[in-house]
Amino acid sequence: MLDNVRANAPLIHNITNYVTVNDCANILLACGASPIMSDDIGEVEEITSICGGLCINIGTLNKNTIPSMFAAGKKSNELFHPVVLDPVGAGASKLRTETANKLLDEVKFTVIRGNISEIKALALGAGSTRGVDADVADAVTDETLDNAVTFARKFSARTGSVIAVTGAIDIVTDGNKAYCIRNGHPAMSSITGTGCQLSTMIAAYITANPEYPLEAATAAVCAMGLCGEKAFARMSALDGNSSYCNYIIDAVYNLTGDDLESGAKYEMR
Amino acid sequence: MLDNVRANAPLIHNITNYVTVNDCANILLACGASPIMSDDIGEVEEITSICGGLCINIGTLNKNTIPSMFAAGKKSNELFHPVVLDPVGAGASKLRTETANKLLDEVKFTVIRGNISEIKALALGAGSTRGVDADVADAVTDETLDNAVTFARKFSARTGSVIAVTGAIDIVTDGNKAYCIRNGHPAMSSITGTGCQLSTMIAAYITANPEYPLEAATAAVCAMGLCGEKAFARMSALDGNSSYCNYIIDAVYNLTGDDLESGAKYEMR
Amino acid sequence: MLDNVRANAPLIHNITNYVTVNDCANILLACGASPIMSDDIGEVEEITSICGGLCINIGTLNKNTIPSMFAAGKKSNELFHPVVLDPVGAGASKLRTETANKLLDEVKFTVIRGNISEIKALALGAGSTRGVDADVADAVTDETLDNAVTFARKFSARTGSVIAVTGAIDIVTDGNKAYCIRNGHPAMSSITGTGCQLSTMIAAYITANPEYPLEAATAAVCAMGLCGEKAFARMSALDGNSSYCNYIIDAVYNLTGDDLESGAKYEMR
C-alpha cells in the first residue's frame, strides 16, 4: 500500500484548517504524495480536478470555506476521486455537526476519520466532544471494543463510507470487515494535529490504491501509529511534544513498505 | 499554579492569527491545557461556552474575524470566563489600534499582554510600534523600569485588567502589586510567536487558577522565560531559531511546578 | 548582501498563504529581517507603508486577500518599495493564473520568483503546473539550460522584473545579465514551502540592497541553496523532511557573509 503511494505520488487537494496545515503538507510529502491547499470557491473545482484525491477537514471551517467543501466534494464525486472527511470538533458546535452531516448527505465519502466522540456526534446526532478531543467517557478500550466495532460497522453501512475511529485502539471498517489496530503511543495526544495528518495521509493511501479503500485506510492508520512508536523511541530527556511532532513526520519519511508490514499490529474482527 | 494547569487541563478557545497558531496549540498541550481554534461568527459563542477560557489575538485580524472577537469576548464575560487580549501590532495600523481599543471598551479582559510599544499604543492612543516588534526607544531597562511600572499600573487601574508588558524585563501588575520578571533570553526575539504563545499560556494559567489572575499570569510569564533559558542551554552550534522554537515548547512540556518555583526570577515592586 | 540584511533589519510585509507562513516568518528572522503578516484590505496600505518591502504569495489566495494584494502592491509602488511576487500554483487554476497576470499588469514587481512551470504559465499563458510543483517535463537541466535562460531573459525584458526561476539549476536574470546557480539539494523538494521561504528572503535581500536587485536576489537564491546543503549534511539516519525544514532555517540563522561568499556556486551567462 505504501509502496504504491511512493510509486504514484498522488496529488492531494486539501481544504483544511490553518492550525495543522503545515504538518499536513509535510506528512503528505513524507509518505510520497504531494499536497495542494486551496479553499476559494473560485478555484476548488478546478484544483480538485487536477488532483487524485481530496481531504476535507472542518477544523477551522468558516462561511467562506464551507461552500468550497461542498463544491470540491461534489466535483470529486463526479470524477470518481476518493474523498476523505475529517469532522474535527463535530459535536462541539452546531455549525460543525450540521456542516459535517450536510456534507454526508451531499457528498459521498470514501473514508470518514475521526475520534470516537466526533463519529458519535455524526452517527447519533448528539455529542459530548471535548473541543477537538474525544470525551474520556467515550474511550475505546478492550472492554468497549466490541460495542465500538458494532457501532462503527453500522455507521459504515449507513454512510457507505469506510469508517476510521482512531484512539488508543483504532477501528477501520467497511461495514463488513473490521480491523482493530494497536499501533501508536499515548504521547501522540500531546501534539496538535496527528488526527488531521492521518486523515490526509489516508487520502494519499486510498488514492494510490483505489481498489482497496479499506485496506489502504487501515495501512495508513497502522503507519501513523507505528511512526508514533518509532518517533517516541527516539525521544531524549529534553525532548517534548514539539520535537515529537517533527520526529513523527521524519519517521513517516523514512518508513518503508517492509517496516510497515512487520510493524503493523492489527487483527480482523 | 502550573500544577493546577496540569490537574485541570483547561480547554482554551483561541481566536488567533494564522502565523503562530500551530505553536500556540502545541504550547497549550505542552503546559497541560487543550486548545481549540475557532473564528467563525456562526460558532464562536457556542465554542467559547464549552471552554474554560478565551485568548483573543489580533495578529492577522480581518473583517470576518473581528466580529467573532467581540461576540466571543462578550459571551465569555457573561459566563465569567477569563479572557486574555494580545494586541499584536497595535500602533502599526489604525485597524489594529482601533479594534484593540474597541475591544477594551466592550469586553472585560482579565489580562492584556503585549510588548511595551503595543501597550503604549493602547494606553496613549499613539504608537511607534515597529510592525509587531517593540520600538527600541521604548525598551524597558533598569533605568526606565520605575517609569514603566508606574505606566503599567495606571493602565491596569484604567482597564481593570492585569497588564503584562513583556520584553527584556517583564512587568505584570494588577494596578496595585507589580511583579518584575527577569527570566528569558534575548534569542527569544529571533523566533516568531513567543509573545502569542505566552498569551495563550497565560489564558491556560488564569483559567486553572481563577482566584489568582495576577499570580497566575506572573507564573506563566516566568515559565515562558525560564523555558527560553532552558531551551537556549540546549542549543548546539548548528541550531538556530527554528530548533530553538521547538526546544522552548519542549521545555514547557517538561517543566514541573518545582522547576518553575526554583527557576522563577521575580521581585515585587 | 547578507551583511546588509543583518545591518538594516528590513521589515517585510507578507501577504501570503497559511500553509508555510510560520516558516516564512522564521526565515525572515533567521536572515536578520523582521516579518509582518497582514492581509485585510482595511490595513494593508498602512502596513506596507511602515515596511521596507513587500512579498505577495498567492499560495492560498482568496476573494478577501486578492484585493489586498493589489492595494498593497500599488501602495508599495508609489513608495518605491521593492515588491516580490511568488505566483504559487500559477497554471493550476484560472484564478491563480489570471490573478498573477493581473498583478503583473497593475503592479510593478522588482522580482518574480517561481518554479519553471509557474513562470511558463505566466509567460506563455498556458501551464502544465502539477499543483504547486514543477512539471517534470519542464525541468531545467544542463541540456535545457540555454533555452531556459533565453526564456527567462525574454520574460524579464517584457515585465521589467528580475526573474528568478528556481529548481535543480536556478536562473536569475534582469534581462541582460543572467546568473545560473548550482547550490541546493534534491531533498529540498520534500519540504513544503522552501520556495515561499526563498521568495520572502529575496524580499529581505533586495530591500536591504536597493541598488542591486539582480545581485541581491541572486545572493538570496545562493543562500537558500547553500543552507539546503548545510542542513542536509547535518541529517542523521532518523531525520526526515520535518527536521530538514528546521535545519534549513537554522542554517540561514547561522549563515555569515563569508560563508555565503565561499559557498555560493554561480556562473554568469
The model's pLDDT over C91-130, given as tens digits with 9 standing for 90+, comes to 999 999 999 999 999 999 999 999 999 999 999 976 566 6
Judged by a CB distance cut-off of 8 A, whether residue C93 touches chain B is no
Q: Do B36 and A92 touch (CB under 8 A)?
A: yes
Which amino acid is present at A85?
Answer: L
CA angle A72, A77, A80 (to 5 degrees): 125
Q: How far is CA C49 from the centre of its chain?
A: 21
DSSP state of A210: T
Q: Do B89 and C25 touch (CB under 8 A)?
A: no
The model's pTM is 0.97
E-only strand ranges, chain C: 11-15, 34-37, 53-57, 83-86, 111-114, 162-165, 170-173, 178-181, 266-268
Residues 6+ apart with CB under 8 A from C83: C53, C54, C55, C56, C73, C76, C77, C107, C108, C109, C110, C203
Q: Do A241 and B249 touch (CB under 8 A)?
A: yes
Residue A170 in contact with residue A180, Cβ under 8 Å? Answer: yes
C-alpha cell at A170: 483504532
Q: Do C62 and A46 touch (CB under 8 A)?
A: no
Residue A130 has pLDDT above 80, yes or no: no
Chain A, nearest residue to C94 by Cα? A43
Q: Do C22 and B17 touch (CB under 8 A)?
A: no
Q: For residue C61, which phi and psi values (nearest 5 degrees)?
A: -55, 150
Chain C, nearest residue to A235 by Cα? C238
Judged by a CB distance cut-off of 8 A, whether residue C60 touches chain A is yes
Judged by a CB distance cut-off of 8 A, whether residue C40 touches chain B is yes
Residue C108 in contact with residue C78, Cβ under 8 Å? Answer: no
Judged by a CB distance cut-off of 8 A, whether residue C95 touches chain A is yes
Chain C, nearest residue to B23 by Cα? C22
Once rounded to an integer, what is the mean pLDDT over residues B189-208? 98
Q: Can you give the pLDDT at residue B56?
A: 98
Which amino acid is present at A5?
Answer: V
CA angle C167, C172, C178 (to 5 degrees): 125
Chains near A, with 3+ CB pairs < 8 A?
Answer: B, C
Contacts of A64 in chain B (CB under 8 A): 64
CA-wise closest residue to A73 among A114, A155, A19, A14: A14
Residue A96 has pLDDT above 90, yes or no: yes
Q: Do B238 and C249 touch (CB under 8 A)?
A: no
Q: Can you give the pLDDT at residue A137?
A: 76
Q: Which CATH superfamily is domain A2-268 in?
A: Ribokinase (3.40.1190.20)
* Domain coordinates in residue numbering, chain B: 2-268
Q: For residue C128, which phi and psi values (nearest 5 degrees)?
A: -125, 30
Judged by a CB distance cut-off of 8 A, whether residue A251 touches chain C is yes
Contacts of A250 in chain C (CB under 8 A): 238-243
Paired residues of B14 in beta bridges: B37, B55
Q: How far apart are CA B48 and CA B36, in angstroms?
A: 9
Judged by a CB distance cut-off of 8 A, whether residue A37 touches chain C is yes
Q: Do B131 and C25 touch (CB under 8 A)?
A: no
Judged by a CB distance cut-off of 8 A, whether residue C130 touches chain A is yes
Contacts of A236 in chain B (CB under 8 A): none
Q: Can you give the pLDDT at residue A129?
A: 64
CA-wise closest residue to B65 among B131, B101, B14: B14
b/e per residue A164-188 (b: at least 16 CB within 10 A): bbbbbbbbbbbbeebbbbebbbebb
Judged by a CB distance cut-off of 8 A, whether residue B5 touches chain A is no
Q: Can you give the pLDDT at residue B132?
A: 74
Q: Can you give the pLDDT at residue A43?
A: 98
Where chain C has pLDDT below 50, the residues are: none
CA angle B72, B75, B78 (to 5 degrees): 150
Contacts of A188 in chain B (CB under 8 A): none
Residue-averaged pLDDT of chain C: 96
Q: Can you give the pLDDT at residue A128?
A: 60
Residue B138 has pLDDT above 90, yes or no: no
Residue B233 has pLDDT above 80, yes or no: yes
Residue B19 in contact with residue B194, Cβ under 8 Å? Answer: no
Distances (CA, A) of B194 to B20, B113, B189, B199, C17: 9, 12, 8, 9, 21
Judged by a CB distance cut-off of 8 A, whether residue A101 touches chain B is no
Among partner residues A11, A43, A254, which is closest to C130 by beta-carbon distance?
A: A11
CA-wise closest residue to B5 among B53, B48, B45: B53
What count of other Cβ atoms lies within 10 Å of the Cβ of residue C137?
9
Q: Can you give the pLDDT at residue B49?
A: 98
Q: Can you give the pLDDT at residue B27?
A: 98
Pairing state between β C83-86 and C53-57: parallel
Contacts of C36 in chain B (CB under 8 A): 89, 92, 131-132
CA-wise closest residue to C197 among C264, C134, C139, C253: C253
Q: Do B19 and C25 touch (CB under 8 A)?
A: yes
Q: How far is CA A25 from the centre of its chain?
A: 14
Contacts of C16 in chain A (CB under 8 A): none
Residue B91 has pLDDT above 80, yes or no: yes
Once rounded to an integer, what is the mean pLDDT over residues A71-100? 97
The model's pLDDT over A132-150, given as tens digits with 9 standing for 90+, comes to 777 777 889 999 999 999 9
- Where are the alpha helices (H) located in chain A, listed in sequence order? 2-8, 21-31, 44-50, 65-78, 94-106, 116-124, 145-159, 194-208, 213-233, 241-254, 257-263
Shortest Cα distance, chain A CAs vs residue C156, angstroms: 28
Q: How far apart are CA C106 and CA C78, in angstroms?
A: 12
Residue A78 has pLDDT above 90, yes or no: yes
SS3 of chain B:
CHHHHHHHCCEEEEECCCCCHHHHHHHHHHHCCEEEECCCCCCHHHHHHHCCEEEEECCCCCCCHHHHHHHHHHHHHHCCCCEEEECCCECCEHHHHHHHHHHHHHCCCCEEEECHHHHHHHHHCCCCCECCECCHHHCCCCCCHHHHHHHHHHHHHHHCCEEEECCCCEEEECCCCEEEECCCCHHHHHCCCHHHHHHHHHHHHHHHCCCCHHHHHHHHHHHHHHHHHHHHHCCCCCCCHHHHHHHHHHHHHHCCHHHHHHHCCEEEC
Establish, for the pair of chains B and C, how many residue pairs have beta carbons separated by less than 8 Å.
Answer: 107
Residues 6+ apart with CB under 8 A from B26: A191, A192, A241, A242, A245, B249
- Element (DSSP H or E) covering residue C46: helix C44-50
CA-wise closest residue to A73 among A133, A152, A161: A161
b/e per residue A104-138 (b: at least 16 CB within 10 A): beebebbbbbbbbbbbbbbbeeebebbbbbbbeeb
Q: Can you give the pLDDT at residue A49?
A: 98
Residue B183 has pLDDT above 90, yes or no: yes
Q: Do A63 and B40 touch (CB under 8 A)?
A: yes
Q: Can you give the pLDDT at residue C136?
A: 73
Confidence class for position A127, pLDDT limits 50, 70, 90: low
Q: In what order do the strands lie in the sheet with C111-114?
A: C34-37, C11-15, C53-57, C83-86, C111-114, C162-165, C170-173, C178-181, C266-268
CA-wise closest residue to B48 among B25, B66, B28, B68: B68
Q: Can you give the pLDDT at residue C162?
A: 98
Which amino acid is present at C176?
Answer: N
Contacts of A93 in chain B (CB under 8 A): 38, 43, 46-47
- Element (DSSP H or E) covering residue C104: helix C94-106
Q: Best interface-test mutation with A: which of C136, C239, C242, C243 has the largest number of A CBs within 10 A?
A: C242
